[in-house]
Amino acid sequence: MDAPYAIEMVNITKRFPGIIANDNITLQLKRGEIHALLGENGAGKSTLMSVLFGLYQAEEGVIKKDGKEVKINNPNDANDLGIGMVHQHFKLVQCFTVLENIILGVESTKNGILQMDEAREKVKALSEKYGLQVDPDAKIEDITVGMQQRTEILKMLFRDNEILIFDEPTAVLTPQEIEELMEIMKNLRAEGKSILFITHKLNEIKAVADRVTVLRRGKYIGTVDVATTSKEEMSRMMVGRDVNMVVDKEPAKPGDVILKVENMTVASKLHSNNAVKNVSFEVHESEIVCIAGIDGNGQTEFVYGLTGMEPLVDGKITLCGEDITKESIRKRSRLLSHIPEDRHKHGLVLDYPLEYNMVLQRYWQPEFTSKAGFLKRPEIRAYSERLEAEHDVRSGQGPITIARAMSGGNQQKAIIAREIDKDHKLLVAVQPTRGLDVGAIEGVHRNLIKERDNGRAVLLISLELEEVMNVPDRILVMYEGEIVGELDPKKTTVEELGLYMAGAKRNVFIDGNTPEIEESEVVDNVREGRDA
């Protein structure tokens, strides 16, 4: 008789110097189920998966496949056992086609010549079977993130993997793509594949998973059936306390204008069109304004233009009454704090210790640099320790921890601590909760609202619908580089917001005037235009 579990990890313990990353964790994946692995950042999910994938060896515990104990010493062993993984950051060759990426490493050749036809047939059959639409001859660099992910899934299927690991697969997808992915996962389950789904999004677990195993700070908390467990219960298991799912806040009392953007236009690096077109709006003190939109609609370029990282093609930026259109990044940073979209690329010098990262935006100030140009190391150390304590930034060795060695959530906390603590009137927060878990997201939102209540202007750029609906006082929707709508989060619905984000509706026009037509009419017009 077959054992009921496709893969079992029993009593796994994995230690690193100074920390137990996995403390006696058991994970049992049934055949043909979607099993979610839930935990905060740093809870040990990645370590556990690395053990399963052969990247780390556990000190204690055993791994069983179909009830038989197996040794996984390296990723090749994992592959041989039919374990495949879609990594959070895809491992695809950008200038190769979809098909070339899929066969990479398992190419069949005849006299040294690649045999593509067979592979093409197999890929075609697989994509039909599981509803994975991709164009096998499209180059990776030309296709959407969602399609790239489908390529990764096909890669696993092409290798006849039975156990599929998805590492936070929805972090990079649009709401529509997420829904499609959920369907694909259900199809895979129906075909008897076993899926491990690493996530911290409770909605998604509710939507597809059968069971969920929860980890917290390296410890095993429990495994429960999703159908009979509420989201609140799951988040309590994950965080260890009750989490406030709804953002508490008083109504905004906007004051003077802090930021005024007039006709801002920014060039695109990808194509010859402008990425940001003629954008105008204001942000007042004690107000959170959110720029919502699907990824890639000019938000990134807008922030670059606003913070001075890219020059404007046209337009004017006024901050606290000062024209800063042509000012340097350093000059702008006197009044402007910036939580960047990509914390690894921009937010941190990963090879610097935490303390040096904590002063990245202020190291030149007399507080940290003497008149002769020497760094004041004790002051930097003390400052870092204070921020770490105030913002609960956890790290292995405190201020001297190399930033690269910290978990993503704590890296983000460090950046937020740094940006909030420095002098500023305007906080630009670009996807500040990206890749964070429920507990950490709550903290970030609380911080944003505290900023507002302290009289700062907050400009939030977000892709998360829940965040867009709950945190800001005003929503601006960006579509193809233009602001197409201004909405009141209290009066709008997710569905309406979705229409604006998809470009099917607009209530702001280039001249900045709200039109005199009924909104529904516009929608109808646009829809008709599309259908026609």
Instruction: Assess contact for 261 and 462: CB atoms under 8 A.
Output: no
Q: Among 31-39, 240-248, 332-340, 445-453, which window interacts with other proteins (CB under 8 A)?
A: 332-340
- 226 DSSP assignment: S
Q: Among 87-95, 117-125, 265-273, 350-358, which window interacts with other proteins (CB under 8 A)?
A: 350-358
Please identify which residue in 26, 59, 133, 230 interacts with other proteins, judged by CB under 8 A.
59
Nearest distance from C-beta of residue 233 to other proteins, angstroms: 27
Please identify which residue in 2, 117, 242, 351 interacts with other proteins, judged by CB under 8 A.
351
The CA distance from 278 to 297, in Å, is 14
Does 361 contact other proteins by CB under 8 A? yes
Does 245 contact other proteins by CB under 8 A? no
Does 55 contact other proteins by CB under 8 A? no
Nearest distance from C-beta of residue 225 to other proteins, angstroms: 28
For residue 78, give Cα distances in angstroms to 13, 33, 46, 434: 19, 19, 15, 30
Sign of CA dihedral 301, 303, 306, 309: negative
Nearest distance from C-beta of residue 330 to other proteins, angstroms: 3
Please identify which residue in 333, 410, 411, 447 interacts with other proteins, judged by CB under 8 A.
333
Position of tokens 């603590």?
421
Query: Pairing relation of β-strands 60-65 and 5-16?
Result: antiparallel
- SS3 category, 81: coil
- 490 DSSP assignment: T
Please identify which residue in 42, 218, 340, 439 interacts with other proteins, judged by CB under 8 A.
340
Nearest distance from C-beta of residue 448 to other proteins, angstroms: 20
Q: Among 140-148, 345-353, 388-396, 435-443, which window interacts with other proteins (CB under 8 A)?
A: 345-353
Give strand pairing partners of 23: 219
Give strand pairing partners of 103: none
Does 90 contact other proteins by CB under 8 A? no
Q: Among 194-202, 279-287, 370-378, 391-399, which window interacts with other proteins (CB under 8 A)?
A: 370-378
Query: Pairing relation of β-strands 287-292 and 314-319?
Result: unpaired
Nearest distance from C-beta of residue 369 to other proteins, angstroms: 4
Position of tokens 């007399």?
366
The CA distance from 130 to 196, in Å, is 17
The CA distance from 220 to 260, in Å, is 50
Does 302 contact other proteins by CB under 8 A? no
Does 338 contact other proteins by CB under 8 A? yes
Q: Which of residues 376-435 bind other proteins (CB under 8 A)?
A: 377
Q: Among 190-198, 251-259, 313-321, 327-335, which window interacts with other proteins (CB under 8 A)?
A: 327-335
Nearest distance from C-beta of residue 426 to other proteins, angstroms: 15
Nearest distance from C-beta of residue 372 to other proteins, angstroms: 8
Q: What is the Cβ-side half-sphere exposure of residue 208, based on CA atoms within 13 angstroms? A: 29
For residue 278, give Cα distances in angstroms to 131, 262, 298, 313, 459: 40, 7, 12, 10, 18
Residue 237: which of 39, 89, 418 has the closest Cα? Answer: 39
Does 217 contact other proteins by CB under 8 A? no
Nearest distance from C-beta of residue 339 to other proteins, angstroms: 11
Give strand pairing partners of 39: 215
Sequence length of the chain is 532
Does 137 contact other proteins by CB under 8 A? no
The CA distance from 163 to 85, in Å, is 8
Q: Among 43-51, 106-114, 170-178, 346-354, which window interacts with other proteins (CB under 8 A)?
A: 346-354
Instruction: Name the residues that contact other proteins, by CB under 8 A.
Output: 15, 17, 59-60, 307, 309, 328-333, 338, 340, 345-352, 356, 360-361, 363-364, 369, 373-375, 377
